Amino acid sequence: MTLLDFARGPAIHWSLIIMVTGIIWRLLGVLVLTRGADLSRPRDAFGNFKGYRTVFSRAWPSGEFRTTTRYQTAMAYGFHLATLVVVIGIVPHIEFITSLTGASWPGLPNAFGVGAGIMALASLLALVARRVSKPGVYCSNWGDYFSWLVMAAPLVTGLMAFAHLGLRYETMLAIHILSAALLFAWFPFGKLMHAFWFIFSRAQSGVVYAHKGVRI
């Protein structure tokens, strides 16, 4: 079995199994916990439902904080959008998703994929540079750096495989797939889970504040 066969076969297979198991485990392990009841009378009868808007409204900083969070907002948006383009725009990735789910859609020309990959990597570097330069503000733990590495690795190896840099193409491809497998396997355990938590966290706070008639 070559490295590529291992990567495409058991490695990605088991990492997906770990990811699915882990995500559901962690989500349910939290969401099935007891629900605290706020028995106080809401400011207006159906006001609490307005709290759910926070899930969407918090996607953008409010005017008050636009200046102070500008760098982070720009870099975080740059990273997330570019990564999204890379993940769902490049034909090999679409093919991979097709093999998993059966769904398929047209891909982008390679130049866009490379551009988005470089953008994602650059913004990721910009984010970690800030994290490293202000350790006191960010209060980072090893998991933050590990998550960063695990996220950066598929981007670096993917670009290298595409550009035929470093090792032979199929070895780079195998390393790229292995790095993606590591990302999948790590996903449920670190802060990457914010991909799910943000919905619940924002909704909860939105509802807590809407209960008192406050829009956050």
Q: What are phi and psi of 183, to 5 degrees?
A: -60, -45
- Binding another protein (rule: CB under 8 A), the pick from 29, 103, 105, 133 is 29
Task: Please tell me whether residue 145 binds another protein under the rule CB under 8 A.
Answer: no
Spatial separation of the C-alpha atoms in residues 33 and 107, rounded to whole Å? 42
Closer residue to another protein (CB): 97 or 153: 97
Based on the shown chain and the rule CB under 8 A, indicate whether residue 125 belongs to the binding site for another protein: no
Residues with Cβ within 8 Å of 127's Cβ and at least 6 positions away in sequence, in order, are: 72, 75, 76, 79, 148
Window of 39-47, 118-126, 150-158 that interacts with another protein by CB under 8 A: 39-47
Residues 157-196 that bind another protein (CB under 8 A): 164, 169-170, 173, 189, 191, 193-194
Contact stretch for another protein (CB under 8 A) within 60-68, 117-125, 151-159: 60-68
- Our separate counts of H helices and E strands in the chain read 11, 0
**Are the C-beta atoms of residues 149 and 117 closer than 8 Å to each other?**
no
**Sequence-distant (≥ 6) Cβ neighbours of residue 135 within 8 angstroms:** none
- 132 binds another protein per the rule CB under 8 A: no
Which range binds another protein by CB under 8 A, 105-113, 118-126, 152-160?
Answer: 105-113
Q: Which of 141, 163, 165, 166 binds another protein (CB under 8 A)?
A: 141
**133 in contact with another protein (CB under 8 A):** no
The Cα angle at residue 191 between residues 19 and 154, in degrees rounded to 5: 65
88: Cβ–Cβ under 8 A, 6 or more apart, which residues?
94, 97, 105
Q: Footprint of another protein on residues 79-98 (CB under 8 A)? A: 91-93, 95-96, 98
Q: Is the distance from CB of 149 to CB of 128 less than 8 angstroms?
A: no
Closer to another protein by Cβ: residue 82 or 89: 89
Total number of residues binding another protein (CB under 8 A)?
93
| Binding status of residue 74 toward another protein by CB under 8 A | no
Give the CA radius of gyration of the chain: 20
